[in-house]
Structure 1
Amino acid sequence: MLKDNELKYAEGSQANGSSDSIRLATFEQYRGLLFSIAYRMLGSVADAEDMLQEAFIRWQQTADDNIRSPRAFLVTIISRLCINQLQSARAQREEYVGEWLPEPIMTDPKSDPLGLIKIDESLSMAFLILMERLTPIERAVFLLREVFEYEYAEITAILAQNEPNCRQILRRARQHVGALQPRFKTSERKKKDLLERFLKATSSGDMEELVTLLASDVVLQSDGGGNGLAVPNLIHGIGKVARGAMGGLKKLLPKNLVHQLAQINGEPGIVSYLNGKPFSVLTIDAGETQIRAIYVLTNPAKLSHLPELPSVPQ
């Protein structure tokens, strides 16, 4: 059954000959949903935008008679495009130099004034890294069901799977990521406090304070895309992570960086700028009192979409 806005679309299309303006307006209505799905599927802003562009082309080329529900049609297109993209990107990912992290996005109101991006814990770096453990089809089923709350009947239509198969796929996906998800949510205030204390400790060289902030199983993951400005492998444990954060990373980074707190993937983060341009992004995965993981991005290709440092009013 068509929803009211979809009925209006169908009626408008018939009355106006399926004009480009109606098609564009309908696509824009669902752009935020489509980007939210594509970005979580791919972990890449550039790839997500490419998928939206391809979805729009197919949307424009499809006859009205083949579209019963614009929303369902567009979500089906974007989901299948992302699955295909993930399948073709696996070989590229295997050749990636060093550790791989998702492209960060700034999620403060200024970066997304219309509130188009769905912001919750599924946007965090930690969650997107968990998605890397899933196959493309597992990722699609898990996101559509667990994050976007689609019914099984809708998912089966979107992915051309039968319902028992979708349920089995979701069960496997939950097994792959369930044990790694935190049991308790940490407030943004506590995460921000831990992040500020981390920045202060590393800036001042306070190793004792830094050690108290780290959980026993803490991990440091750095993605430089092979540019030499990142730690090439995962670092585990308090001592190694503390030394890596205090010594290794500081030696690699320029001295004249400007640090600013920002909302990164829905959580507190630090963007560092060199000559006004984004140079690195740091985010954390935190519990109530300690940091469980530190993520550092210095790959220029993954930072190019971030805005430059705002100029200070004179």
Structure 2
Amino acid sequence: MKRSPTQQELVFQQHKSLLFSIAYHMLGSVMDAEDCVQEAFLQWYIAEQEEFVENPKAYLSTIVTRRCIDRLRSAKTQRETYVGLWLPEPLVATTDPFERWELNESLSLAFLLLLERLSPIERAVYILRQVFDYDYAEIAPIVGKSAENCRQIMHRARRHLPAFPDHMPVLHAQHRQVFTKFFQAWMNGDMEGLLQVLADEIVLHTDGGGKVRTILHPLYGPGQVTRYLFGLQQKVFPVVKFALRSTWINGQPGLIGYLEEAMEDKSRLPQEREETENGKQLVAWHQRILAKGEVVFVMGLTCVDAQVQEIDIIANPEKLRHIPISNGDDNDTTVYEIPASEVRWSDALTRHVGTLKGSLGADY
């Protein structure tokens, strides 16, 4: 007996979260993942007009995974010509403290970046097996391989990646404490405090996609990372006032940076040469962010053993389009004025840091 459209919608909603999670793990793109999930639903909807599908979950998972594999193959050339470092699109404020810890770990930007080492088929098998605990017998028809072949693919994938995190999970309260120490030290210009919260193996990535000026290579070690962070205010944010919303980025603490006021004095914008196509894109982007509430960047922290192990800053505007603009009345937003050279960072911080605590929780 065929399902009615209403029944199909109910079944789809039951599996939608799983399908999106598979697609996002595969692609590292929120918008592409949403497209794949919708395409899968439409294909299933049409297929059921002809024949009843006994196992919608397996059918939809197969469609989503195969479409992701095709997209990854098509994106290979684009990734090779990408300007600077490629980072996944940030997934904002989706982490539930009661979700499985393993899934939270697998959503981190650091983990998704590691998955870029795998081929599309390896990535599909690894994600379905390691993250979602599919049996090899379930994975085999999804990727069009035998169960034994899938075991071999999984073995190769594990050789290309570090072991899946097996340390004790860091509670969200501990994440918040690490984030608070990091943020206060950064805003206060406290070099020693920042060095204490950064892991010895700290790495910092930035992604501007050639549209925003960022560093093109990773920074390693507390010294390099600290110097870069303290130089951000002068080099990256040429505005007088901006807003930071503290939230969860891919299951880890982080910040969304919004432009708090429209910029009237355009002379303070970076002066870019327009002769090149890249220069024109940079100028166009700087003009676009003059609107109040525009998302300027997202910063995600990966915390391990009570320290910050990785910092990922995403400023490519194309990767921030899915994040709603600030409406100006968000209780989770803290406003900061960039201090002039004669103003100490601690003075600026003292005026505003109180509201930051409420946005990540009260247990400090």
Decide which of 229, 242, 252 is 2:226's aligned counterpart. Answer: 242
One-letter amino acid matched to 2:71: Q
CA contact (8 A) 1:230 1:249 kept: no
Aligned counterpart in structure 2 of residue 47 of structure 1, from 26, 29, 32: 32
Matching residue within 316, 319, 329 for 1:302: 319
Aligned to 1:5: none
Find the residue that maps to 1:233 and give its secondary structure: coil
Do structure 1's residue 192 and structure 2's residue 176 form an aligned pair?
yes
- 1:7-38 residue CA offsets vs partner (Å, 9 max, x unmatched): xxxx4x1xxxx443333332222111110100
Deviation string for 1:96-150 (max 9, x for gaps)? 11111111112348xx9xx9xx952111111111111111111111111111111
Distance 1:281 1:228 in 2: 13
Structure 1 partner of 2:55: 69
Contact in 2 for aligned 1:55/1:78 (Cα 8 Å): yes
Deviation at 1:53, TM superposition (A): 2.3
Residue 3 of structure 1 is matched in structure 2 by: none
The yes-or-no answer on 1:92 pairing with 2:92 is: no
Is the Cα contact below 8 Å between 1:222 and 1:234 reproduced in 2? yes
On the 8 A contact 1:42/1:86 being kept in 2, the answer is: yes
SS at match of 1:225: coil
The counterpart of 2:167, out of the listed 176, 183, 188, is: 183
- 2:325 is paired with a residue whose SS is coil
Deviation at 1:76, TM superposition (A): 0.6
Aligned equivalent of 1:7: none
Distance in 1 (CA, whole Å) between partners of 2:130 and 2:164 is 15
The residue type paired with residue 22 of structure 1 is Q
Q: Secondary structure at the match of 1:271?
A: strand
Are 1:59 and 2:76 counterparts? Answer: no
Relative to the length of structure 2, the TM-score reads: 0.75
* 1:35 and 2:35 matched: no
The CA distance in 1 between the partners of 2:7 and 2:75, in whole Å, is 34
How many Å separate the matches in 1 of 2:293 and 2:242?
A: 9
* Distance (Å, rounded) in 2 between the aligned partners of 1:90 and 1:144: 21
Mapped to 1, the partners of 2:186 and 2:242 lie a distance apart of 14
1:187 CA drift (Å):
2.4
Q: Give the drift of 1:276.
A: 1.8
Q: Which runs of 5+ in 1 are unaligned?
A: 1-10
Tell whether the 8 Å contact from 1:231 to 1:249 is kept in structure 2 after alignment: no
1:111-122 matches, within 5 Å, as 120-122=104-106
Aligned length: 293
| Pairing of 1:238-277 with structure 2 (within 5 A) | 238-248=222-232, 250-253=234-237, 254-274=239-259, 275-277=292-294
Q: Is 1:21 paired with 2:6?
A: yes
- Specify the alignment match of 1:162 in structure 2: 146
RMSD after superposition: 2.3
> In structure 1, what is the equivalent of residue 288 of structure 2?
none
Deviation string 1:210-239 (CA, Å, 9 cap, x unpaired) is 122222221110011112332221111121
Rate the CA distance shift 1:108–1:42 in 2: closer, same or farther, 3 A.
closer
Structure 1 residues 203 and 182, CA, compared in 2 at 3 Å: closer, same or farther? farther
Q: Superposed, which structure 2 residues align to 1:96-245 within 5 Å?
A: 96-108=82-94, 120-179=104-163, 181=165, 183-245=167-229
In structure 2, the gaps of 5 or more residues are 260-291, 332-364
Is the aligned partner of 1:81 residue 2:67?
Answer: yes
SS at match of 2:12: helix
| Secondary structure in 1 matching 2:241 | coil
Q: 1:313 to 1:301 in 2, by over 3 A?
A: closer
For the 8 Å contact 2:212–2:315, the answer to whether it is kept is no
Q: What's the CA shift for 1:250?
A: 4.7
- Output the amino acid matched with 1:309: S
| C-alpha displacement of 1:68 | 2.5
Contact 1:190 1:288 in 2 (8 A): no
Instruction: Give TM-score scaled by structure 1 length.
Output: 0.86
- Alignment CA distance shift 1:68-1:289 (3 Å): closer
Q: Using the alignment, how far apart are the partners of 1:313 and 1:252 within structure 2?
A: 24
Structure 1's 255 and 283: CA in aligned 2 closer, same or farther, altered over 3 A? farther
